[in-house]
Amino acid sequence: MTFVKGQGMLDVRGLKKVYEGSGRRVEAVRDLTFTVDAGELVCLVGPSGCGKTTLLKCMGGLLTPTAGEVLLQGERVTGPPPGMAFVFQEYGRSLFPWMRVGENVELPLKQKGLSRSRRRELVADALRSVGLADAAGAYPWQLSGGMQQRVAIARALAYEPQVLLMDEPFAAVDAQTRADLEDLVRGLWRERGITILFVTHDIDEAVYLGERVVVLSASPTVVQEQLKVDLPDDRDQLHTRVAPRFAELRTHVYEQIQAAKRGTPRDAPEDAVKTDAPPPA
């Protein structure tokens, strides 16, 4: 157990989640094991309905897994940990319409018990980072979808998390806004050195953003494959997306997802664990 500490920021071990209710038993996640290192940007892709959101909610302490565990810096996650921030897909529902943008960003900080001046500093800094420095006084519903998701990201940043969990955050915005937001996330990640786990169903997005892509199988979910993205750190929408290596990687991930849908997982979990992290002793 000791080697785990300091090595993985996030450890997911043998995670299993079964929903039971009204006579139906749904195994959303069967057995997931993977690690996210400190400062890494990992993208999780998988066929739709493969339990990505379930997995993320278990990691964020919002759901209790049926079996297995999630460790944040070696500490078992039992509830939402203070070092973790969550960005939801449904920004319109995740931001509180009764609070102004600044108040939305500030609310979690109040709960942290930070001083007023420190809170102001963090709010202003976070809003500046996402390019919304002068939107603090607006209500979220006065902003466009892309701007609202920026506010949600600012709220997460101001919280100063070690780990940022993002659940298909750009699924509901248009393509151009999406490209901007992708660059924003990469920029923030490089600037702030936060560990980011980014869930998406978009293969291009996963390859473009991630340092590593974890491909999940169809439900009941296991890890289909883990793939290192060996693209240069400096990425941009114009050149990276037409690079031959990008095409190779996306084709590979695409094939994996198709294989996952057909339900022929190639014993990937063991392989992957061997290459990325030693198996638990």
Partner 1 sequence: MKGLNLALGAAGLAAFLLLGEAVPRLGLVKDAYFPPTSRIAGALGDELADSAFWTALGDTLTGWAVGLAVAACAGVVAGVVISVVPYLREATASTIEFLRPIPSVALIPLAVLLYGTELRSVLLLVVYASFWQILIQTLYGVQDVDPVAEETARSYGLGTWARIRYVLWPTALPYVMTGLRLAAAVALILTITAELVIGAPGLGARIAVAQTSQAVPDMYALIVVTGVLGLLINVGARSVERRALAWHQSVRGEVAV
Question: For residues 142 and 176, which CB has a smaller minimum distance to partner 1 in the complex?
Answer: 142
- Least distance (Å) between residue 75 CB and partner 1: 15
- Least distance (Å) between residue 128 CB and partner 1: 21
Q: How many CB atoms lie within 10 A of CB 90?
A: 14
How far apart are alpha carbons 28 and 19 in whole angstroms?
7
Q: In what helix (H) or strand (E) does residue 133 lie, and over which residues does it extend?
A: none
- Least distance (Å) between residue 174 CB and partner 1: 12
- Least distance (Å) between residue 229 CB and partner 1: 27
CA angle 65/172/261 to nearest 5° reads 55
Q: Residue 71, SS3?
A: strand
Residues contributing to the site for partner 1 (CB under 8 A): 57, 60-62, 80, 82, 84-86, 88, 90, 93-94, 96-99, 107-108, 111-112, 139, 141-145, 155, 159
Question: For residues 141 and 281, which CB has a smaller minimum distance to partner 1 in the complex?
Answer: 141
Q: In what helix (H) or strand (E) does residue 279 lie, and over which residues does it extend?
A: none
Cis preceding linkage at 220, omega within 30: yes
Question: For residues 125 and 204, which CB has a smaller minimum distance to partner 1 in the complex?
Answer: 125
- Least distance (Å) between residue 65 CB and partner 1: 16
How far apart are alpha carbons 99 and 197 in whole angstroms?
28
Instruction: Return the beta strands (E) in the chain as ranges.
Output: 8-21, 24-37, 41-45, 67-72, 75-76, 84-87, 163-167, 195-200, 212-216, 221-228
Question: For residues 84 and 185, which CB has a smaller minimum distance to partner 1 in the complex?
Answer: 84
How far apart are alpha carbons 48 and 52 in whole angstroms?
8
- Least distance (Å) between residue 201 CB and partner 1: 18
- Burial label for 174, CB within 10 Å (0-12, 13-18, 19+), is exposed
- Least distance (Å) between residue 76 CB and partner 1: 17
Question: For residues 8 and 60, which CB has a smaller minimum distance to partner 1 in the complex?
Answer: 60
Question: For residues 15 and 77, which CB has a smaller minimum distance to partner 1 in the complex?
Answer: 77
Contact predicate 46/198, CB 8 Å: no
Question: For residues 47 and 81, which CB has a smaller minimum distance to partner 1 in the complex?
Answer: 81
